[in-house]
């Protein structure tokens, strides 16, 4: 059964509406995604309702449908664009009109709903916050599970959000219920994009969501039923602003065998909310400006994302934080996840935390706030480009896997190109084998221009072969054994090429059990080393030359070392 979209008046054949931000054009087919709002001139169409399981829903090309498409609990449905004039667009939001100057460069207009995100000229705006962006964080005098103490510059905080850093690799949030005597009373937000880490001590924090905090370009706030915006250029937002409520583009929780093809989703909370859904397919889908995640499939399994583009996700682009298994993500472009606005919590641009059998292949992942690609057991991550990761949070990797249960991962990370990972971070690696990772093959990857090339943390039985490492800021290979129990062993490094300049180290090896423990970390053979540094390796705090390294480890006899 095929269901035509409702309200399907035919667009002018000589002026076909394009995707958000594209100039209208005649019959151009599916046009590239951009980051500005849908055409505010054409009226939005009503979202179809009552879609039955087993049906095909066709949405008219080049048109925008307002609201959330409800497929929750449904099965065997295909949603696709009909026609060749550009993707149909789904958005819970709308253009906001009727702007007047409030004061200075701040303009206001009536808010028709509870606003959750604002986009001006394709650029996501920041919810008004204190301190200013230049400072970002304040430091609490004290805090505990239900309160935070700090002498705030304005007592109007009830209903605002407290955002804080319980760890340097995580960001948490609480709702502020009141403020008195320099103390905020706080409670849970109910937002599943945060992990529930405890509040306590002198944490770094900021607050957001009040009009008095709106004090610089690129910010917005709501007060008294009106939306207030300071556009980046200081001009009126009229004709170029899109606002959206906290609503998903497609609601597909507990569904099965849903296919979404050639559809764009703009300005939603989650582009597709598929919690606990099985066998969701997103084919040639374009998701942009999500205040939550691009695709949320935690608790589900069998997700396929193919040939899609996901940009400007506030948290993760693809999130399977629990459950999962059998995911395929390929031939897709992921940009700027967890990396716009003020710092927030993120897990990975492609976040497949705990499922078995994922294939992540031939994707381009750029400018991620935290991890670029995260996979788990029996997984393959191959042929991907990760360019820019760990841009907001530290203790992070461009590609990451771990095995806290210490069971073999049987995972392959191969033939990826990884660069610009965490240059400014204290703890960042292009390749990160964390928490007892074992049984991982890392082969044929090209790593360049990152804080560190690779880390193995308490890992064992891993093979690192045929990779190239260049221009790491600190070290190419870091192996760490932490704790009181010996764990690091049988890691094989062979046939790799390492190039350094300055004082970067080829290897940085350390163990809490002492220098003697470092000698059993692995074997090293047939590698090529090119370096002008006098320090070849950091051996549990001791600087070694290449000759000293070979003598100390009894390894790398057949490897070569030369100046650049």
d(CA 116, CA 28): 33
Region 98-118: mean pLDDT is 97
Q: What element of type H or E holds 551?
A: helix 546-553
pLDDT for 42 equals 83
Confidence of residue 153 (pLDDT cuts 50, 70, 90): very high
CA angle 67, 69, 72 (to 5 degrees): 135
- Check residue 353 and give its pLDDT: 97
Cβ neighbours of residue 516 under 8 Å, at least 6 residues apart? none
pLDDT (tens digit per residue) in 270-312: 999 999 999 999 999 999 999 999 999 999 999 999 999 999 9
Mean pLDDT of 553-560: 95
Q: Which helix (H) or strand (E) holds 334?
A: strand 333-335
- Burial of residue 485, with CB atoms counted within 10 A of its CB: 0-12 exposed, 13-18 middle, 19 or more buried: exposed
374-429 residue pLDDT tens: 999 999 999 999 999 999 999 999 999 999 999 999 999 999 999 999 998 999 99
**What percentage of the chain carries pLDDT values higher than 70?**
93
pLDDT band for position 15 (cuts 50, 70, 90): very low
The whole-angstrom separation of Cα 295 and Cα 368 is 16
Q: Rounded distance, CA 239 to CA 228, Å? A: 15
Confidence bin at 17 (pLDDT 50/70/90):
very low
Q: pLDDT digits over 433-473, tens only?
A: 999 999 999 999 999 999 999 999 999 999 999 999 999 99
Nearest CA-CA partner of 293 in 358, 332, 343, 347: 347
Torsion of CA 252, 255, 261, 264, to 10 degrees: 0
pLDDT band at 95 (very low <50, low <70, confident <90, very high): very high
Tokens of 452: 């560190």
Question: Mean pLDDT score of the chain, rounded to an integer?
Answer: 92
Q: Is pLDDT at 46 greater than 50 in this prediction?
A: yes
- The number of beta carbons lying within 10 Å of the beta carbon of residue 531 is 22
Residues 6 or more apart in contact with residue 83 via CB below 8 angstroms: 60, 61, 62
For residue 531, give the 3-state DSSP assignment.
Answer: coil
């Amino acid at each position: 059964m095929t269901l035509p979209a409702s309200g399907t008046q035919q667009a002018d054949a000589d002026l076909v509406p394009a995707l958000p931000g594209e100039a209208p054009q005649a019959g151009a087919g599916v046009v590239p995604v951009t980051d500005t709002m849908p055409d505010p001139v054409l009226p939005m169409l009503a979202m179809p309702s009552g879609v039955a399981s087993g049906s095909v829903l066709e949405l008219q090309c080049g048109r925008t449908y307002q609201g959330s498409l409800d497929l929750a609990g449904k099965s065997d449905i295909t949603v696709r664009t009909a026609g060749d004039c550009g993707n149909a667009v789904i958005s819970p939001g709308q253009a906001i009109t009727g702007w007047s100057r409030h004061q200075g460069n701040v303009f206001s207009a009536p808010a028709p709903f509870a606003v959750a995100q604002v986009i001006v000229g394709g650029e996501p705006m920041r919810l008004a916050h204190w301190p200013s962006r230049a400072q970002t964080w304040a430091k609490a005098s004290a805090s505990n599970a239900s309160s935070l103490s700090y002498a705030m510059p304005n007592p109007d905080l009830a209903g605002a959000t407290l955002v804080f850093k319980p760890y340097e690799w995580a960001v948490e949030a609480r709702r502020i219920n009141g403020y008195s005597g320099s103390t905020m009373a706080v409670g849970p937000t109910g937002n599943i994009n945060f992990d529930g880490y405890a509040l306590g001590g002198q944490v770094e924090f900021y607050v957001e969501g009040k009009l008095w905090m709106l004090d610089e370009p690129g910010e917005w706030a709501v007060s008294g039923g009106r939306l207030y915006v300071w556009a980046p250029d200081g001009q009126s937002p009229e004709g170029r602003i899109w606002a959206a409520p906290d609503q998903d583009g497609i609601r597909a929780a507990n569904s099965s065998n849903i296919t979404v093809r050639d559809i764009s989703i703009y300005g939603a909370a989650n582009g597709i909310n598929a919690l606990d859904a099985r066998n969701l397919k997103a084919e040639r889908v374009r998701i942009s400006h999500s205040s939550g995640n691009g695709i949320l499939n935690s608790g589900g399994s069998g997700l396929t994302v193919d040939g899609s583009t996901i940009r400007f996700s506030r948290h993760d682009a693809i999130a399977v934080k629990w459950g999962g298994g059998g995911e395929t993500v390929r031939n897709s472009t992921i940009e700027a996840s967890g990396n716009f606005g003020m710092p927030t919590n993120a897990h990975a641009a492609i976040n497949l935390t705990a499922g078995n059998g994922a294939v992540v292949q031939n994707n381009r992942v750029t400018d991620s706030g935290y991890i670029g690609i995260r996979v788990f057991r029996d997984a393959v991550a191959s042929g991907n480009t990760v360019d820019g990761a760990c841009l907001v949070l530290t203790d992070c990797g461009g590609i990451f896997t771990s095995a806290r249960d210490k069971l073999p991962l049987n995972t392959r990370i191969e033939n990826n190109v990884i660069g610009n990972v965490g240059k400014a971070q204290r703890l960042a690696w292009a390749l990160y084998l964390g928490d007892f990772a074992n049984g991982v093959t890392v082969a044929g990857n090209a790593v360049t221009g990152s804080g560190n090339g690779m880390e193995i943390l308490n890992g064992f039985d891993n093979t690192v072969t045929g990779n190239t490492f260049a221009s790491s800021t600190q070290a190419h290979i870091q192996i760490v054994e932490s704790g009181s129990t010996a764990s690091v062993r049988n890691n094989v490094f062979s046939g790799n090429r390492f190039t350094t300049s300055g004082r970067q180290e080829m290897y940085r090896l350390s163990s809490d059990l002492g220098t003697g423990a470092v000698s059993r970390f692995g074997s090293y053979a047939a590698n090529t080393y090119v370096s002008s540094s006098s320090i070849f390796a950091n051996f549990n705090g001791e600087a070694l030359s290449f000759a000293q390294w070979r003598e100390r480890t009894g390894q790398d006899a057949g490897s070569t070392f030369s100046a650049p």
